[in-house]
Structure 1
Amino acid sequence: MIPDGPDVSADAVLASCPDAIVAVDARMRVAVWNAAAERLFGWSAAETLGRPAPIVPGELLAEEHAVLERTRAGEPVSVLTRRLRRDGTAVDVRVDTGPLRTADGAPAGWLQVFRRDADHGELRSHAAERARLVRRLTDVAADINADLDLGAVLDRIARSLTELTGADAGGFALIEGDRLRLVSLSGLSEHLKGYTAPLESSLFGELLRSGRSVLLATDDTRSLDDLIWADLDGLHTIALGVSSVQGRPYGALYALYSGRRVGHVELELLELLAAHAGVALGNAMAYQEMVRRRAKEHAVVESSADGIAVLDGEGRVRKWNRAAAELTGVPAARAAGRPPPFPLPEGEGASVRHRLPGGRWLEILVTGISGTEERVVDFRDVTQAKELEEEKDLFMATAGHELRTPVTVVQGFAGTLVRRWEQLDDAARKDAVRTIAERSSVLARLVENLLLGSAAGGDLRVGAEAFDLRRLLEEAAGAFSSFSPRHTLCLEASEPLPAALGDPVATDVILGQLLENAFKYSPDGGRVRLRAGVDGGRLVVDVEDEGVGIAPGDEERIFGRFVQGEAGDRRRFGGIGLGLYIVRRLARAQGGDVTASARALGTRMRLTLHSAPPVGGPEAGGAGEGGVSVPGGLRPEPDEGPDQGC
């Protein structure tokens, strides 16, 4: 430091110095820019002070960083290099760089002295050496980029590090959250691989906080004994550089020296290698992500319940997933290279439905893949939906037909009463009102079935209480005993009959529907038998008729929505096909069931219910001495009720 005096000042010395002098602070901002620097580079002090110096060519930034880092140990560094002038030309200079310190000795930045270089021989030698190093670095970069497996790339980087920088050992540490993990190494014991350490207190953490790309640590400035790298005997210097992927720090290259001393050239090579390593890692990670994404897409496509096909620009199948093969019956090997076995929608976003030869309905959609001529075809099985649509159409037609008749009758007789009330006698009026009442009852039952059928599509809520099943049976038999003059209704029930556990209202609906069907599907008359007893610990009620019976194989089909037992003659029997669907849902909601079976003549419908737990004696819960429990079927004794003579 030159003290100011009456005749000489530090500013005067700087202004008079024939060499260009530039001082930068710890953040690389210009603090001093003398007159010789203005003359050499063309920028004035006003244009450079407080800003990074604009004189370092981009291809020499790594060299500059290496030189500055090397001087942090207190050793001045002199290099022959090239710098930029304001007019865009380059000038060959020798740069002497040393540390800049405050009055108390703390690091404050760097001081650089620039001189024009006139020794072209030395310059040519320097350029030749740089060209050799660049070729060597290019070969190393090509080597580490020769593999796309992430683990293999990391191993190549560690090997290339010692080869290029002359380090005795090295390694690559990966950032994982707030820790570092050693993932590859060279010249060190394999047991160190996988070692982790806190990022914050590591040399890498110090490097990241400094904002620089390289860091040099020596045993002259700090202790290296507490680091994992102390595994290397004679360790005296650690150099490390940041490897970034897509602009974010990903890991650090560590070069370890136990023999030779480290110069700025090694630091420059380390920084350049770290940059190339970041590129190689980015490529490997991108490839790994692509493989992972393709594997995920493959898993999604293969596990999809929809058929998925990928077509090329000519409409031929390139991809055919498992569901596609199952839905169409065409295996992937036979589908590949051919058009799909169904028509495609005319435009993107449209859909088309197609029926396959086997009767299955497909809904097909097509979407184009952006940037290619390929298209993705998604198709799914809509057979059930198609059948439901047909059932709904049939339901609407049938319901309209069934409702029209009683409504027309009620409307006609009501109109007659309004228009001709005075002309009709009492008997005619009563007949008209009776007809209106009867048809209104039919209409009410139809509406009730519609409502119950709608509710049965979801969860039915029924009660769970003990009730007198015998009383319900007697009331039902009494209500239907005069239902038809061509039929005879017989009630046969065990005596006494245990109490049932369930919902008496729901059970009454079930009994009414089963008896109505028994009369309805035996149009020629005959005997309808209503039997009840105990079978296998459960209450069983059978309704048997001598009617048209059930076609073989239809024992379950008749419990579907909008289905009738005699499907081929709907007009003959009428109805909307919801009755049995409703009664089964009501029975199962109580923990019971309704099943159907064919007889030699007619049909047997069986309702099963839980019996209520015994409360007192046999009258309350058991079958009693008169009860019948026969595994093969019910054989109750005749009941002394409205069915005498059955």
Structure 2
Amino acid sequence: MGDDSAGGDDELARAVLASSPNAVVALDRDQTVLVWNPAAERLFGWSAEEMLGRRAPIVPEELTAEHNAVLERVRTGGQVSLRTKRFRSDGTMLDLRVDTSALRQGSSVVGYVCVHHLTEVDESAKHRMARRARLVRRLTDVVGDINAELELPAVLDRISASLTELTGADAGGFVLIEGERLRLVSTYQLPGSIRDTTTDLRTSLVGKLLRTGKTVMLESQGLDDLVWAELDGLHTIALGLAAVGGRPYGALYALFAGTKPEHVELELLELLAGHAGIAVGNAMAYQDAVRQRAHERAVFDASADGIAVLDGKGRVIQWNPAAAELTAFSADVVLGGPPPFPLPEPGEKLTFQLETGRWLDVVSATIDETGEVVVDFRDVTRAKELEEAKDLFLATTSHELRTPITIVRGFASTLDSRWDKLTDLERRSAVHTIAERAKSLGHLMDHLLLGSRAGADELAVRIEIFDLGERIHAATLGLPVLSDRHRVEVVIPDGLPYVSGDALATDIILGQLLENAFKYSPQGGLISVEAWPEDEHVVVVVDDEGVGIAPNDRERVFERFVQVDSGDRRRFGGVGLGLYIVRSLARAQGGDVTAHPRPGGGTRMRLVLHSGSDTPMR
């Protein structure tokens, strides 16, 4: 029986490879071809018979080092997705996305699996991506310039000028938070006479932004009474909060009299605001240290950034507490020796990854009076992770779109070219497949649209009193027949109170939570839905016996573009927007959704909505 089962698995694996729309190539450790599926034959032009047992001549010579580096990275752990080029048999060059992962036998890496996707990006998308890439590169240069400045007035003026350059704003300014007041300390393309203007923090736009708990905000109402009205035609203000050590420090104002800002401009404003807070804080700390040597140690020790001072021979003579925390090297270890990372040239910035996995931005400046070098470094790991998450989102979305589009195109082409040769049953089956794949494309588009609206705070809900028990019954009706590996159990007490919220939004929430319960319990098991009143709320829990969520990921799963790494990112599919949309819809109704471990294993998703009545209404 074991042999029959193994044979069946081999046949299934061959069938999957044969039907894959993507070119799949498996290599051994010496890069000899082990698998060359039909899609690879079509893409590259060589047959499997020609390729098996030899090295595939598809990697251009100038990209050999890149290819070997990818294989080495995969061998030491992880999966690499890379846009690159490969040869066809006729000598033409293909623009591809290659996803490379390890081929394992037990715990040993015995080779590599490369999945090739043709890169087809429309010109509009290319333009947007290229524009964003240019702006991000420019932001990197700007941050380097800002951090290279140590004189506070120069830092402030550079920030204001950079603000208009990066966002396309018509003017800009920087304000400092001084207790309960704001002070305008820098302007660009505005009259110099308004500098040093102060106002009450509580009634200002900065106060409004602080009350929202966010870091960026758009405002287009009531601008005539503000000092910024000095800009003719002002119609929109974009506001970004600058913080040092997690505490509000100041804010950047981008003023628009022409075009309105888009998402990428707000993103760059948020990033620049974060860098600006650090740059201003560093500049002020540096000047205080130079002017008031008696306060040097207090400033040095209190800095949120890691700061080191090196003597003329490059040996560490001072190492502040933040430096020890960021690098995991105590002062006792590093004093008298070189710092545990390379140093940039004065005025330049170096981004470096420590062995702990933490990324640092490192800048340095020479103190002319002493010949010493001050090195400043801060943790940019979160920014790196966000960039990788967005790259993963783009790659994942492309994959999710490509599969149904390929299938729809294939079946439509078959119907077009072989209509008269197909039986009625075959035609109906093809049309049914096209309809199902079109439905999945629509579902994906709905998720992308909802995710975009949620990210822009544009989700509109309608608050009314409705029967939550009825919505749960409707959402779970028919679920037991969807899978022969799952059991569905619904427990709703008699007299469950009505709730206050949006019935349609709640339908979306319940549908997504149930879909996740099925998707993330691939081995089957019990799917349990239960509701009960609790204080002035009604609680709904959806339990599954699936793969579960690690403790550190129970909040991250509600962020945009996040998919918990199960070791196989393509195992469950999706673009990482489902739970982000769920939480956004719940909070828009005044409720919330949280993730918890299920007793006995699996996941419990907990939805809380406001009760619509003090007494049961059913």
Q: TM-score, normalised on structure 2?
A: 0.47
Q: TM-score, normalised on structure 1?
A: 0.45
| Structure whose CA Rg is larger | 1
